[in-house]
Chains A and B, each alone.
Chain A
Amino acid sequence: DAKTTQPPSMDCAEGRAANLPCNHSTISGNEYVYWYRQIHSQGPQYIIHGLKNNETNEMASLIITEDRKSSTLILPHATLRDTAVYYCIVRDLHGSSNTGKLIFGQGTTLQVKP
């Protein structure tokens, strides 16, 4: 199974960029990197995903290194409402199906401070 490693916690000042790193050194060629976040006692919310190119949407940017062994989620202007646990996930393909297991790590608790 491809696994990810994230720092357990990070702080960020409100209005500044939050850069959340993730290592996925065993990622294989067809596996995508996904980011989700979970606000306390709610279901995780999808943020962004990518394969090898950098991606940007209205919520965040995703930077994937050229060797694909790590990535960084960037929240360009963090707000207090961005305080959450952020999960980096690599899709684990199962058999001939292209809907494999979703394996979550411990995630990074981001605390945005005023």
Chain B
Amino acid sequence: DGGITQSPKYLFRKEGQNVTLSCEQNLNHDAMYWYRQDPGQGLRLIYYSQIVNDFQKGDIAEGYSVSREKKESFPLTVTSAQKNPTAFYLCASIRRGGAFNTEAFFGQGTRLTVV
């Protein structure tokens, strides 16, 4: 079955360490997105990529980095420059092309805790 997979589900890191969150999709979707969600809050866009080897900053990109070397993969690195990295991170993908009415598919999220 096609889908979008985030791993790991729970991640613990020491303060000051970089950490990379994985997002893989086998839906042949062109566009991929990373969101951050804090307790009781909505989703805020970190980075998005509409095509391989290209990505744009979202609303809260500071302290994060991404790469898009393959269509299937869009890893997010939370760097030591991110002041409050503890959060729930969600990845999504959308098919590109055709009409403007395609839906987004989300992974199940990674809960990052920095201690």
Q: How far is the CB of B60 from chain A (nearest CB, A)?
A: 12
Are B43 and A104 closer than 8 Å at their CB atoms? yes
> Which residues of chain A (48-70) have a CB below 8 Å from chain B?
49, 51
Measured CA separation A15–B25 after assembly (Å): 37
Are A32 and B101 closer than 8 Å at their CB atoms? yes
Contact of B99 among A44, A85, A98 (CB under 8 A): A98
A101 within 8 A of B: yes
Main secondary structure of the interface of A (DSSP, over half): loop
Q: How far is the CB of B28 from chain A (nearest CB, A)?
A: 13
Measured CA separation A99–B108 after assembly (Å): 22
A45 within 8 A of B: yes
B31 within 8 A of A: yes
Measured CA separation A9–B52 after assembly (Å): 39
> Which residues of chain B (60-115) have a CB below 8 Å from chain A?
88, 90, 92, 94-109, 111
B50 within 8 A of A: yes
Are B88 and A44 closer than 8 Å at their CB atoms? no
Q: How far is the CB of A79 from chain B (nearest CB, A)?
A: 22
B41 within 8 A of A: yes
Residue numbers in B under 8 Å from A99 (CB-CB): 30-31, 50, 94-97, 102
Measured CA separation A76–B6 after assembly (Å): 33
Measured CA separation A103–B106 after assembly (Å): 14
Are A104 and B35 closer than 8 Å at their CB atoms? yes
* Chain B interface residues toward A at CB < 8 A: 6, 30-31, 33, 35, 41-45, 48, 50, 56, 58, 88, 90, 92, 94-109, 111
Other than the given A43-B6, A43-B90, A44-B90, 17 more pairs (CB < 8 A) read A30-B100, A41-B109, A42-B109, A43-B92, A43-B106, A44-B43, A49-B101, A51-B101, A85-B42, A97-B50, A99-B96, A99-B102, A101-B48, A104-B44, A104-B45, A106-B41, A106-B42
6 smallest beta-carbon distances between A and B, as pairs: A43-B106, A104-B43, A99-B31, A99-B96, A106-B42, A46-B103
